[in-house]
Chains A and B, each alone.
Chain A
Amino acid sequence: MIVQRPKLTWWERTYLPQILAGLWLTLKHIPRRKFTRQYPEEKPLLYGDYRGAPVLVKDADGRVKCVSCQLCEFVCPPKAIRITPGFRPENRFDANVEKEPKDFVIDMLRCIYCGMCEEVCPEEAIFLKNDFAITGYKREELQFHKEKLLELGGVHDDKIWKWKNK
């Protein structure tokens, strides 16, 4: 397709009409309503599927839902997750789950919030919650370990109770 270059009049070729129109446009915006969100005071409205920091959850009975199957570690594109698998003690109420993470580290400096860990998790134990402002003074502070992740996650009562009657 050949687009014909529009034929400009002499007046248009001075660019002045466009410059003046532009100046008028920007001037009109000065009194308009502002869209700035005053961030620390005004939080953004997050919806349910927002992908913030990944956390681990417990079920209604207090079992750590994660069984350290390491699928999230496998699927994690930036390799931010590192799991040390371990046993559940034989004398604990949740011994029938057999396996739990001895440690579960998410490197929040590497996490890209893609949500693939949540998607792949067969136990629905990891969720991307709403926290997005994750800061720290040292790298170690941003290595979220199992305790911290569980504390952030809290209880997720999904009414499935997979391990209750297993």
Chain B
Amino acid sequence: MADTVKLTIDGQEVVAPKGMNLIEAAKLVGIEVPHYCYHPKLSIAGNCRMCLVDVGLPKLGADRKPEIGPDGKPVIVFGPKLSIGCNTPVAEGMVVYTRNEKVTKAREGVMEFLLINHPLDCPICDQAGECRLQEFSVDYGKGQSRFVEEKVHKPKRTPLGPKITLDDERCILCSRCIRFMKEIAGQDCLGFVNRGSYSTLTCYPGNEPNTNYDLNIVDICPVGALTSNDFRFQQRVWFLKETKSICPNCATGCNTVLWSREGIVYRQTPRQNDAVNQCWMCDYGRLNYKFINDPRRLTTPWVKSAAVGERLSLTWPEAIHQVTDRLRDAKGIAVIGSARATTEELFLLKKLATASATVVPHTGEADNFLLHADRTPNMAGARLVGFSDGRPSGEFTALVVLGEEAIPSDVLAKLELLMVIDLLPTKATEAAHYVLPGVTFAEKRGTFINAKGRIQRLNPAIPPVGHAWPDWQILAALLKELGAGNYASIEDVFADMARTLPALAELNLSKITDLGIDLSHRFTQMNTDSSVDICVASVAKKP
């Protein structure tokens, strides 16, 4: 028997793998079956009843063969009641209607029940605009309520751990959060108490969600019952621009969406990529975006003037000109790169170096799910373009630092020129002769290569803060002034990388899709378990 079955959904023939449920099968042909409790990455609860569909099966004769009707087609027998799409697997010859009158009536009924005790406080609800209850009310709602009795009142604005606020009145009891905490986050803490209209989502006092993945339940909550304290009342979602991005906080490289408005990033949410992070991301990475709009951000290039004894702001042409003059005079240039920088930036930085090119590792504790011990997003990329660990070495009098602050004091003492490209004031920028303001991952294009050797693409969500330039643009300007390269765009940089690095051969930025490209087969030696030793020592020959 084949691994696929043929069925008909709303008159369209669908070939679906065995065991797939009807919601997913309908999705294959672009039909959306409305649902609340079903989530593809969680176990099936089947309690919201929104995904009811009309399912018919071929009538089997005594010989276990489908009976053929007078029109030459199999006779289909529809069930007396509707079935839930989420928990009905596909079957050979099945006929499904997702939008006929029976189904629509059933869904209207479900919606009316769901809205009976719903407080309808959309004006103060953060979910408004991305709320499934709102969306399906438009499709299946009545527009007015027949319910004249007093609504059931439940606890509102209850803290659920330090990161989440729970509004029980808005809850439609889909149990997605309960299942996520139990199945994915591994903390069985949420549950329903009481019965009927009084059913309430709650947790045992003292056992509030406190894992590193709590905020995912805010994402999967189809209504506004669970809201993130970080994003609560910050901005309405319909104002926010969605930009596909990559979380820069560890080597996993979770796919994310940055939500921004007018140059301010308001939140970061996970984006589905089954090869990297499924539908989730950790709270550590999710909440670590505030540095993007930090008021202390560096916005203009400056020089520490010995004569004036203070910082002197420069225009970009001045800064580039002065720095290159000083670099030309230097007897050797060492660079310290950051594995938080993009591959393109590190590639250009490496070109600047005549002495050592080193990178500083940042590690932390790994969990066994998404958070990687390597807390930099691009150590593999740094290795690939030729950065190594260790102290700056070789003969040099100039040091170019990209986004790092730890500079050994003996190195510092012998420097004639210290140039730092960074976002925020650090010890390094304090010591630097020249500081050129770079931008965060949310303001530039570029690529990260994660711990598993997957190259993924950043997109600019907001324009650069102040007069800052994207780091690759600063480095390209320096190289151009030094006569060491002419890169007009980031595409030029990537094209040069693809030429010189076999691991990136025949790639360009647009070939790297939103989900990235797995390059691990191009690396002979990959060690994904070890935290920092994600070595890319040698590169396999292309087949």
Give chain A's interface residues, CB within 8 Å of chain B.
67-71, 73-74, 85-87, 96-99, 122-123, 166
Q: Contacts A74-B238, A99-B233 hold; do A123 and B123 have CB atoms under 8 A apart?
A: yes
Does chain A have a CB within 8 A of B157?
yes
Closest approach, in angstroms, between the C-beta of B375 and any C-beta of chain A? 33
Indicate if the CB atoms of B239 and A85 lie closer than 8 Å. Answer: no
Verify B233–A87 contact, CB threshold 8 A: yes
Q: How far is the CB of A67 from chain B (nearest CB, A)?
A: 5
Q: Which of B119, B124, B156 has the most CB of A within 10 A?
A: B124
- Residue pair A96, B236 in contact (C-beta under 8 Å): no
Q: Say whether, besides A96-B156, A98-B157, A67 and B123 are in contact (CB < 8 Å).
A: yes
A85 touches B234 (CB 8 A): yes
Task: Using A96-B156, A123-B123, A166-B119 as known contacts, say yes or no to A69 and B128 having CB atoms under 8 A apart.
Answer: yes
Which residues of A sit under 8 angstroms from B235, Cβ to Cβ? 70, 85
What number of residue pairs across chains A and B have CB atoms under 8 A from each other?
Answer: 36
CA–CA, A123 to B123, complex, Å? 8
A-B pairs, 9 with minimum CB distance: A69-B123, A99-B124, A70-B236, A85-B233, A67-B124, A122-B123, A67-B123, A98-B124, A99-B233
Q: Is B122 an interface residue (CB 8 A)?
A: yes
A69 x B239 contact (CB < 8 A): no
Minimum CB–CB distance for B223 against chain A, Å: 16
Q: Is the beta-carbon distance between A69 and B236 smaller than 8 angstroms?
A: yes
Q: How many residues of B contact A (CB 8 A)?
A: 14
For residue B123, which residues in chain A have a CB less than 8 angstroms away from its CB? Answer: 67, 69, 71, 99, 122-123
Contact B122 A69, beta carbon cutoff 8 Å: yes
Query: How far is B252's CA from A128's CA once the two chains are assembled, in angstroms?
Result: 53
- Within the complex, the shortest CB–CB distance from A96 to chain B, in Å, comes to 7
Residues of chain A lying within 8 A (CB to CB) of residue B239: 70, 73-74
Chain A residue with the shortest CB-CB distance to B157: A98
Complex CA distance for A80 and B119, rounded to whole angstroms: 31
Residues of chain A within 8 A of B236, CB atoms compared: 69-70, 74, 85
Give residues 521-538 of B contacting A (CB, 8 Å). none
The CA-CA distance from A122 to B121 in the complex, in Å, is 10
Interface residues of B, Cβ cutoff 8 Å to A: 119, 121-124, 128, 156-157, 233-236, 238-239
User: A79–B236 Cα gap in the complex (Å)?
Assistant: 15
| Further pairs besides A67-B124, A68-B233, A70-B235: 6, Cβ < 8 Å | A70-B236, A74-B239, A97-B124, A98-B124, A99-B124, A122-B122
List B contacts of A85 (CB < 8 A). 233-236
* A97–B121 CA distance with the chains assembled, in angstroms: 9
Chain A residue with the shortest CB-CB distance to B167:
A98
Of chain A, the residue at the smallest CB distance from B150 is: A165
Contacts of A123 in B (CB 8 A): 123
Cβ contact of B233, chosen from A86, A122, A166, cutoff 8 A = A86
Interfacial chain A residues near B156, Cβ < 8 Å: 96, 98
A contact residues around B234 at 8 Å (CB): 85
Instruction: Give the nearest-CB partner of B165 in chain A.
Output: A98
- In the assembled complex, 8 residue pairs joining A and B whose CB atoms fall closer than 8 Å, in A order, are A67-B123, A67-B124, A70-B236, A85-B235, A86-B233, A87-B233, A98-B124, A98-B157
| Residue in A closest to B236 when the chains form the complex, CB atoms | A70
Which residues of chain A have C-beta atoms less than 8 A from B128's C-beta?
Answer: 69
In whole angstroms, how far apart are the Cα atoms of A71 and B238 in the complex?
Answer: 10
- For A86, the chain B residues whose CB sits under 8 A away are 233
In contact, B233 and A69 (Cβ under 8 angstroms):
no
A98–B239 CA distance with the chains assembled, in angstroms: 21
Query: Least Cβ distance of A2 to chain B in Å?
Result: 55
CB distance from A5 to the nearest CB of B (A): 60
Q: Nearest B residue to A95 by beta-carbon distance?
A: B157
Known: A74-B238, A85-B235, A98-B157. A69 touches B124 (CB 8 A): yes
Complex alpha-carbon distance, A67 and B239, angstroms? 17
CA distance A33 to B235 in the complex (A): 58
CB nearest neighbor in A for B235: A85
Minimum CB distance partner of B121 in chain A: A166
The distance in angstroms between the C-alpha atoms of A87 and B233, with both chains bound, is: 7
CB distance from A10 to the nearest CB of B (A): 73
| Cα separation A71 to B129 with both chains bound (whole Å) | 11
B120 to chain A, nearest CB (A): 9
Report the Cα distance A112→B122, complex, angstroms: 27
- Which residues on B sit within 8 Å (CB–CB) of A71? 123
Give CA–CA (A70, B129) in the complex, Å.
11
Give chain B nearest CB distance to A105 CB in angstroms: 14
Bound Cα distance from A67 to B122, whole angstroms: 10
B425 to chain A, nearest CB (A): 27
Distance A74 CA – B240 CA, assembled complex (angstroms) = 11
Among residues of B, the one whose C-beta sits closest to the C-beta of A83 is B236
Name the CB-closest residue of B to A74. B238
**A123 (CB) vs chain B CBs: closest residue:** B123
The chain B residue with its CB closest to the CB of A98 is B124
* Distance to closest chain A CB from B331 (angstroms): 54
How many Å lie between the Cα of A123 and that of B124 in the bound state?
Answer: 10
For the complex formed, measure the closest distance between the CB of B134 and the CB atoms of chain A, giving whole angstroms.
12
Task: For residue A155, give the distance in angstroms from its CB to the closest CB of chain B.
Answer: 20
Q: How far is the CB of A63 from chain B (nearest CB, A)?
A: 12
B341 to chain A, nearest CB (A): 34
